[in-house]
Amino acid sequence: MKIYVTGLGVVSGIGIGVSENIEALQQGKHGIGKVTLFPTALDVPVSEVKRSNEELKQLLSLPPQRTVSRTALLGMIAAKEAMEDAGLN
């Protein structure tokens, strides 16, 4: 089975969703800075999605007690955005 999604979904350090990212880029935001959500031994600038896992779960209507990796949450949000953008609700 082939699936084609003809929509856009973006999750980045400057926003969630295409419009939020475009607006941030137009304002000259870059999303690069120190990690604030997690402890780290390294002090290097990175692009961090500034939302907690709980906030990301809310965007997906997932129960708070559900265990999902942060990477999976970010990917699911981008996929959800792309499907909505394509009109595949």
Q: pLDDT value at position 66?
A: 94
CA-wise closest residue to 9 among 58, 59, 80, 88: 80
**Burial per residue of 75-89, b for 16 or more beta-carbon CB atoms within 10 angstroms, e otherwise:** ebbbebbbeebeeee
Please check whether residue 2 lies inside any domain of the structure.
Answer: no
Please check whether residue 56 lies inside any domain of the structure.
Answer: yes
Please check whether residue 63 lies inside any domain of the structure.
Answer: yes
pLDDT at position 65 over 80 = yes
Please check whether residue 1 lies inside any domain of the structure.
Answer: no
Distance (Å, whole) CA 84 – CA 88: 6
The reported pTM is 0.85
Q: Which amino acid is at 71?
A: T
Burial of 9 (0-12, 13-18, 19+ CB in 10 A): buried
Domain that holds residue 37: 11-85
pLDDT at position 5 over 90 = no
Q: Residues 29-53: pLDDT tens digits?
A: 999 999 988 888 988 999 999 999 9
Please check whether residue 6 lies inside any domain of the structure.
Answer: no
Tell me how many domains the chain contains: 1
Please check whether residue 28 lies inside any domain of the structure.
Answer: yes
